[in-house]
Structure 1
Amino acid sequence: MSPDPWTSWELTRRLSPRGQVRVMKRDAYGRLDENSYPSFYSVGPTSPTTPWCIRLADDAGVFRVLCFDFDGKDKHGVDADLMERAVDDCDALSGMLAQLAIAHVVCQSSGTGGRHIWLAIRGGASAASVATLARAARANFRTLDHGMMLNVAQGAARPPLSPHRDGSSSIVLRGSVDALTVPSTTTADLAALTVLLDENAPALRAQDTAPSGPVDVRHKAHRPLSAAGTAHMATIDGGANPSWTGFMCLLAAANAGWQLRDVEHAVKTVPGMEHYRTKNTGRGGRRLRNAREAQERLERQWAKAQQFAAVQRPLPASREPVDLTELDGIVSSVDALLTRFQASPGRWGRTEAALSQRTILTALAYLTLQTGKRTVAASIRDLALMGGLGRTTAADALKALATAGLIGRMTVSADGNAAEWRLTTEFSTGHGTVRSQPLNNPRPPSELFSARAALAAALEEQLVDQRHDLFSRAGLGHLAGTLYALLRTHPSVTIVSAARLLGVTTRHTTTVLSRLRHHRLIIKHAEGWARSKRDLRDHAARVLGVSGVLVDRAERYRLEREVWAWWQAELGRMHTVPRKRPRRLHVTSRTLAITDSTPGERSWPLYPRIGVGRANHREARVWAGNGMLAPDSLWWSSVA
């Protein structure tokens, strides 16, 4: 704890850029239940009787102090996973500040364990430069509440040493408040911090981001991983942000097809998974977790990583955008699309078909943002799996969206290549947003990439939340999944507000809420209904007998693709001059292998036939399902 002799109110009087602070107001029973500061109190000799906060900017709109607020709470209160992530994020930003020799103060904001990092700016900083810094910081740290630094008029925070409504106070953990009372940070320091944050910002696909610390090159994973995943696994002590590194390890493992037992084996020794062995004490050290806590945390995070991996699986290889003007138009179009979803919920939720169209459009927008191209190749089956739909439902949705002029099919599927789709420019809010003339330059790259990352994260979270076995047609239905996803961004909903968000009747909404409540996915809230703290979707899916539906569907689509590729190879062989045809034995006569004659081509056995010489697609499907087409298959037929 800092030895500074300041009292909380004296420090507030010294730091406050304005002549008034905002204070809490007691209710009729004398309690402070609401975390709001509706009243004003003059900065004078006597301190308020209730907690207060200071605004960060002065009356002229110049920021005099900055507060980075790392919050480990959700709508239900303190979340243990989020709180540890917030502490790690705070430590990582503090390390960046120390690297740039920027004086700062780290505080534990209350007894719940949240973190504040305070800076004082010599001469002040403009709202535009602070907003750029705030967005860059948010792109790096997902637990950062950066809204106060975007609100020049009313952005405020409780200062160091000030009381909290739960009876605790803000405690200085590192640094001296003299760094705030005698500012040394300049606008040049803030610009350097913004540049450093931009350089360290996670890639659009977070698992492709460079490790957050030094890597142990001697470490080898016991199962194959991508290059980025291998680097995250080998990050010594989890790097600068162990909780983030740990989840990147799980995400890389999920993308590589690992099972839970593989992750449990790796967590014992893998350097990058330090977060699942020890926890941040909040005082600069770590301590061992008890076995039960570690196992439960690992299982929760592994389930989450699998959900994200399922949505990200159809993504093509990442590439850097070459035309920022086009990317600016894409970001604007997707932003306008999300606005349209909110402004016209009835168009996108009144019927099951409209709801499916919204999901497919969301998936296409997500692919467009990820690739940075207006035209994206996407198969019907991939889009269906991303949205938790069936392939025929996805095909109908694509056809309806194209008829409505919301998307355009640029090329049809041919030669094993998926059809290409393009979002129309109808969603754009301005004229000529994708023109390349100098009069229509895109926004600055750092701001553009931050906006792109924020939109991609919002779309990804929406797809992940509603893509679950429970929300399939045989379960609670797609509308229930959409409402469950909406509860991520809305702390609570009433029947009326939920009906308005979904665009359906209150009677239909009541039915959906009742089903979610029956399976304890939502709980009663002071202002309606909110998500339950525990994610019980897996349990509810098992109760309804739909557990594994999406995995089975994905496997079925994989087999369909394999049999189709086999049949296309057979057609090619049939239309080849006999003397040029390769010799292909029966599927049961040998072990199959990949030929090296032509890179990328696969050696297929003869296609099964019925008595009259016609193709036997049913038997081909059986062979594919039994694994007999795998290049390393050792099967000998018992069914041929």
Structure 2
Amino acid sequence: MPNAPRKVFGVSTEQRTAWDLTRRISPRDQVRVMKRDAYGRLDENNYPLIHRVGPVEPTTPWAMNLADDTGLFRFLCFDFDGKIQGAVDAELMEQAADQCDALSRILDELSIEHVVCQSSGTGGRHLWIALQDGAAKSNVAPVARVAQVTYSQLDFGMLLNTVTGAARPPLSPHRDGSHSTVLRGSLAALAAPSTTTADLAALARLLEERKPALRAQESRPSGPVDTHHRGHRALSAAGAAHMATIDGGSNPSWTGFMCLLSVANAGWTLQDVEHAVKSAPGMEHYRTKNTGRGGRRPRSAGEARARLERQWNVAVQYAALQRPLPAQKPPEDLTELDAIVTGVADLLERFRVNPGRWGATEATSNQQTILRALAYLTLQTGKRVVAASIRDLGPMAGLGRTTAANALIALTEAGYVEKVTASDEGNAAEWRLVSTFSTTPRTVRSQPLHNPRPPAADLPVVTRSADELFNTRAALVAQLEAQLTDQRHDLFTRRGLGHLAGKLYALLKQHSSVTVETAARLLGVTARHTATILGRLRRHKLLVSHRDGWARSKQDLRDQAAKILGVAGTLLARLERYRVEREVWAWWQAEVTTMNTHPRHRPKRPHVSSRPLFEASNAGERVWPRYPRSSDNLADHRCALELVAAGNLNPESRWQYLGDAA
């Protein structure tokens, strides 16, 4: 009978129950199943037992291997989830849905058949692709690595594991009582695979073209742009493009955050953002929400404002971290970048395996943070030697300039960093991480002057290895950004809960829960000290009790805790103080230059109380007024600080200095 339905493991392909579907498509003759605890519950999300693929259905949820016994992938499952170590986060879950939709549209462009499922009642997504004739790990790895840096909510580990990589198949039950539900696509596409290794290569290439830039806000828009949209304040070209992206593009949540990051870098306020969100096409995410069925519906006013404020706070932290970064430059060489990426990965591994070295004292903990900031600058610039002032490194890490200076001195003495050049005439000192970076045997030239980027299309020989290098670099940058921004908050300054409390709070994003002993081991401090830190975090409701110890609270109450402790605004005040100090220093250098110039060649300088007509941002063209002097004609630096802080040197200031500053 030529038209008879095909049978796999004795099951007709026309049947559509969960277990029957698994029997038809399973690459192996066994699946992994959950195990109930002593009380009959399914609290742990793991699959320790093995169950034969046969007529008898498992009594607990099961996971199907993606690869067969020979190590060939028969299926790919892209798992998008919005949980923070087991706890559902509504914002992250919506991001997961948007990212799954974006990947689904890319697959539609390539005519790759796929099935999108809502994996459980919490709203996660599984996107399935069936592979014709299977695919080796070498064919799947490029897709997995570029997807890792493109989609923040993707769990990509199973796509690199041919031995135990597994996922719950469509229609299968979840431990919370729900089932995997098909949202888009046909299950027949899984029973009759059509995707080839050539399709995977095309997918990897397209993802490489559209992945975010290393500095995400400089990425291309995720959709068509409304050329008629004009913002009420100036933005960079990339920021304006994100703002004008029609309906938020293919990934509205990502586009919305790129808008916030761009305006935070441009110096906008929250009031400016609230004005822009009313009409900017790219900020659709803050007006409507993903329904999970391919459409969007309006948010309530309270929900929209709360989400915008939370995301704005995150964008401000990222902008502060990225502010000291220099402008990107054309490429030179990949060899140096390879050594840098390897070295930074080694440094982070050293932090992980030897926490006691960096947690013994407050000083060593600060040193570790400064090392992370230097590693971040090194990865972003693609250069071994980076210029970094203490007034840049300190705020990046949430520390003061004096603390940063002391940390650099200690790290230099310990051999972790090397000062290449000292600060000179207003230029920041240059530093080099030397303890973990070593020149690879392939290095054949000196340090390149410019930041490398992926090779051009006319260099196909190195494309695969170069793509992997840049994806690894992007993943390390994202890891460092998450660590530095999570612990950078007013609450975790010294007058607040302390820098170590910030480190523990950041660690709890990577761990579902910690006990006192586990936290002490991760931080490298004593259990008694750790208990004190946990108690402080718990007192301000940043932690909640967990059956296995302590877990991070779902609601971020750091701002409220900072207000209670009276430290809200500490980091902003510190940044303003450093800005004033920089301007006073530049003013004094101009004064010294004038004093050392022949009287006939000295420029005519207005009195400090004079009103400047326009602002010359170029330091070389700026005409500085007379530096304030005391009654004995010595430089009055205190008065200079007060004048700059009051805005008297700013042409936009409304007020004039009326005191005697002759």
TM-score range, shorter chain: over 0.9
Residue 591 of structure 1 deviates from its aligned partner by 2.4
2:420 equivalent to 1:410? yes
Partner of 1:163: 173
2:455 equivalent to 1:435? no
Q: Which amino acid aligns with 1:334?
A: V
Q: Which amino acid aligns with 1:498?
A: A
Partner of 1:254: 264
Structure 1 residues 595, 352: closer, same or farther in 2, change over 3 A? closer
SS in 1 for 2:432: strand
Q: Is the contact between residue 92 and residue 241 of structure 1 (CA under 8 Å) also seen in structure 2?
A: yes
Structure 1 residues 603, 108: closer, same or farther in 2, change over 3 A? same
2:166 equivalent to 1:186? no
* One of 456, 459, 477 as aligned partner of 2:480: 459
Partner of 2:612: 591
Q: Is the contact between residue 583 and residue 644 of structure 2 (CA under 8 Å) also seen in structure 1?
A: yes
Q: How does 1:80-479 map to 2 (within 5 A)?
A: 80-424=90-434, 426-428=435-437, 432=440, 435-436=443-444, 444-479=465-500
Partner of 1:526: 547
Structure 1 residues 267, 5: closer, same or farther in 2, change over 3 A? farther
* One of 61, 65, 89 as aligned partner of 1:55: 65
Partner of 2:456: none
Residue 611 of structure 1 deviates from its aligned partner by 1.8
| Partner Cα separation in structure 1 for residue 659 and residue 571 of structure 2 | 28
2:511 equivalent to 1:487? no
Q: Which amino acid aligns with 2:518?
A: S
| Partner Cα separation in structure 2 for residue 308 and residue 8 of structure 1 | 44
Residue 236 of structure 1 deviates from its aligned partner by 0.3
Q: Is the contact between residue 594 and residue 603 of structure 1 (CA under 8 Å) also seen in structure 2?
A: no
Q: Which amino acid aligns with 2:218?
A: D
Partner of 1:65: 75
Between 509-518 and 316-325, the greater mean CA deviation after superposition:
316-325
* One of 611, 626, 629 as aligned partner of 2:646: 626
CA shift digits 1:194-225 (9 cap, x unpaired): 01111111011110101000111111111111
| Partner Cα separation in structure 1 for residue 439 and residue 591 of structure 2 | 51
* One of 630, 633, 636 as aligned partner of 1:616: 636
| Partner Cα separation in structure 2 for residue 510 and residue 595 of structure 1 | 54
Residue 635 of structure 1 deviates from its aligned partner by 2.8
* One of 2, 10, 14 as aligned partner of 2:20: 10
CA RMSD of superposed structures (Å): 1.7
SS in 2 for 1:22: strand
CA shift digits 1:548-580 (9 cap, x unpaired): 111111110100000000000011111111111
Residue 442 of structure 1 deviates from its aligned partner by 11
Q: Which amino acid aligns with 2:376?
A: Y
Q: Is the contact between residue 85 and residue 509 of structure 2 (CA under 8 Å) also seen in structure 1?
A: no
Q: Which amino acid aligns with 1:267?
A: V
SS in 2 for 1:444: helix
Structure 1 residues 98, 146: closer, same or farther in 2, change over 3 A? same
Structure 1 residues 464, 39: closer, same or farther in 2, change over 3 A? same
* One of 514, 517, 535 as aligned partner of 1:496: 517
Residue 379 of structure 1 deviates from its aligned partner by 0.6
Structure 1 residues 320, 494: closer, same or farther in 2, change over 3 A? farther
Residue 500 of structure 1 deviates from its aligned partner by 1.0
| Partner Cα separation in structure 2 for residue 535 and residue 595 of structure 1 | 42
Between 583-592 and 91-100, the greater mean CA deviation after superposition:
583-592
| Partner Cα separation in structure 2 for residue 496 and residue 418 of structure 1 | 41
- Which structure 1 segments of 5+ residues have no match? none
CA shift digits 1:290-332 (9 cap, x unpaired): 1111111111111111111111111111235422111111011
| Partner Cα separation in structure 2 for residue 396 and residue 269 of structure 1 | 48
- Which structure 2 segments of 5+ residues have no match? 1-12, 446-461
Partner of 2:592: 571
SS in 2 for 1:53: strand
| Partner Cα separation in structure 2 for residue 153 and residue 562 of structure 1 | 60
| Partner Cα separation in structure 2 for residue 599 and residue 346 of structure 1 | 46
Q: Is the contact between residue 328 and residue 434 of structure 1 (CA under 8 Å) also seen in structure 2?
A: no
Between 52-61 and 28-37, the greater mean CA deviation after superposition:
28-37
Q: Which amino acid aligns with 2:526?
A: T
SS in 1 for 2:304: helix
| Partner Cα separation in structure 1 for residue 501 and residue 98 of structure 2 | 34
* One of 541, 546, 562 as aligned partner of 1:541: 562
| Partner Cα separation in structure 1 for residue 145 and residue 108 of structure 2 | 20
| Partner Cα separation in structure 1 for residue 429 and residue 613 of structure 2 | 30
| Partner Cα separation in structure 2 for residue 502 and residue 50 of structure 1 | 38
Q: Percent identical across equivalent pairs? A: 65
CA shift digits 1:333-390 (9 cap, x unpaired): 0001011111221111111111111111110000000001111011111001111111
Structure 1 residues 313, 599: closer, same or farther in 2, change over 3 A? closer
Q: Is the contact between residue 18 and residue 58 of structure 1 (CA under 8 Å) also seen in structure 2?
A: yes
Residue 592 of structure 1 deviates from its aligned partner by 4.8
Q: Is the contact between residue 33 and residue 49 of structure 2 (CA under 8 Å) also seen in structure 1?
A: yes
| Partner Cα separation in structure 1 for residue 272 and residue 31 of structure 2 | 54
Q: Is the contact between residue 339 and residue 439 of structure 2 (CA under 8 Å) also seen in structure 1?
A: no
Between 160-169 and 405-414, the greater mean CA deviation after superposition:
160-169
SS in 2 for 1:398: helix
SS in 1 for 2:511: coil
Q: Is the contact between residue 328 and residue 442 of structure 1 (CA under 8 Å) also seen in structure 2?
A: no
Q: Is the contact between residue 363 and residue 407 of structure 2 (CA under 8 Å) also seen in structure 1?
A: yes
| Partner Cα separation in structure 2 for residue 145 and residue 137 of structure 1 | 10
SS in 1 for 2:182: strand
Residue 5 of structure 1 deviates from its aligned partner by 5.0
| Partner Cα separation in structure 2 for residue 132 and residue 301 of structure 1 | 31
2:529 equivalent to 1:508? yes
Structure 1 residues 433, 240: closer, same or farther in 2, change over 3 A? farther
Structure 1 residues 43, 362: closer, same or farther in 2, change over 3 A? same
TM-score of the aligned structures, taking structure 2 as reference length: 0.93
Residue 446 of structure 1 deviates from its aligned partner by 1.2
Residue 528 of structure 1 deviates from its aligned partner by 1.2
TM-score of the aligned structures, taking structure 1 as reference length: 0.96
Residue 24 of structure 1 deviates from its aligned partner by 1.3
SS in 2 for 1:464: helix
Structure 1 residues 595, 183: closer, same or farther in 2, change over 3 A? closer
SS in 2 for 1:172: strand
2:611 equivalent to 1:601? no
Partner of 1:38: 48
| Partner Cα separation in structure 1 for residue 373 and residue 218 of structure 2 | 20
Structure 1 residues 434, 550: closer, same or farther in 2, change over 3 A? farther
| Partner Cα separation in structure 2 for residue 433 and residue 307 of structure 1 | 39
CA shift digits 1:459-518 (9 cap, x unpaired): 111111111111111111111111111111122111111111111111111111111111
| Partner Cα separation in structure 2 for residue 88 and residue 109 of structure 1 | 15
Q: Is the contact between residue 28 and residue 65 of structure 2 (CA under 8 Å) also seen in structure 1?
A: yes
2:655 equivalent to 1:635? yes
| Partner Cα separation in structure 2 for residue 526 and residue 150 of structure 1 | 32
CA shift digits 1:407-426 (9 cap, x unpaired): 111111112111111111x3
Q: Which amino acid aligns with 1:432?
A: T
Q: Is the contact between residue 471 and residue 480 of structure 1 (CA under 8 Å) also seen in structure 2?
A: yes
Q: Is the contact between residue 329 and residue 433 of structure 1 (CA under 8 Å) also seen in structure 2?
A: no
SS in 1 for 2:341: helix
| Partner Cα separation in structure 2 for residue 537 and residue 229 of structure 1 | 28
| Partner Cα separation in structure 2 for residue 277 and residue 562 of structure 1 | 41
Residue 53 of structure 1 deviates from its aligned partner by 1.1
| Partner Cα separation in structure 2 for residue 442 and residue 224 of structure 1 | 37
SS in 2 for 1:565: helix
